[in-house]
């Protein structure tokens, strides 16, 4: 694993271990951070839309240089590999829901939600339903996506076969 990806995953792990219990750190409607949480959820939705459109420039602009993606297969990849893998899948539609936002530190927010996507790989039709964890960090005054990970809810997920791509 490249050092930058290892450091990103290690940093997220450290932040998660240091975080308050989930119920204490959750950003709720009406709280001082609710607008920020709503903005990051909108950006997360945008990232799925950009992935579907294969808009590498937009995705690059919203992710950090040391961005790490944990595929459902268990493989961790960096931003360049993730963008390259995007070419191996055609996302036809997707659905997101059940968002929760947690403040880990004043400069890091963790989003959790469920995502579902339908599409095609080189092997034919594909479908995946997964629990998603996405970490956002404020760097140099900008909020960037630094980590994305999925846990497939269906062991027969076809998005992670030969193409081994994520499904945004």
Sorted by sequence, the CB contacts under 8 Å of residue 148 that are 6+ apart come out as 67, 68, 69, 70, 132, 133, 134, 135, 166
Residue 3: predicted pLDDT: 52
Give the model's pLDDT for residue 123: 85
CATH for 147: 3.10.450.50
Per-residue pLDDT at 16: 46
**C-alpha closest to that of 19 among 98, 109, 113:** 109
pLDDT confidence of residue 73: 80
Say what the pLDDT of residue 134 is.
98
Residue 160 domain-assigned? Answer: no
Taking 70 as the pLDDT cut, the residues of the chain under it are 1-24, 158-168
- Tally the domains of the chain: 1
Q: How many CA atoms lie within 13 A of 160 on its CB side?
A: 18
CB-based contacts of 40, cutoff 8 Å, min separation 6: 101, 109, 111, 136, 143
Domain region containing 49:
3-152
Tell me whether residue 128 is in a domain.
yes
pLDDT at 6: 44
Q: Is 165 within a domain?
A: no
pLDDT (0 to 100) of residue 159: 64
Residue 166 is assigned to a structural domain of this protein: no
* 3-class state of residue 25 by DSSP: helix
Instruction: Give the model's pLDDT for residue 84.
Output: 95
């Amino acid at each position: 694993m490249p050092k930058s990806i290892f450091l990103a995953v290690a940093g997220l792990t450290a932040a998660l271990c240091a975080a308050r219990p989930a119920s204490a750190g959750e950003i709720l409607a009406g709280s001082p951070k609710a607008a920020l949480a709503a903005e990051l959820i909108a950006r997360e939705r945008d990232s799925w839309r950009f992935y579907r459109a294969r808009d590498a420039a937009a995705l690059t602009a919203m992710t950090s240089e040391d961005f790490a993606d944990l595929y459902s297969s268990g493989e961790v990849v960096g931003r360049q590999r993730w963008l390259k893998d995007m070419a191996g899948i055609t996302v036809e539609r997707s659905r997101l829901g059940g968002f929760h936002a947690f403040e880990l530190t004043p400069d890091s927010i963790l989003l959790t939600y469920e995502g579902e996507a339908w599409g095609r790989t080189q092997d034919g039709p594909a479908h995946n339903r997964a629990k998603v964890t996405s970490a956002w960090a404020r760097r140099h005054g900008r909020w960037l996506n630094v980590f994305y990970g999925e846990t497939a809810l269906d062991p027969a997920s076809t998005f992670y076969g030969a193409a081994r791509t994520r499904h945004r």
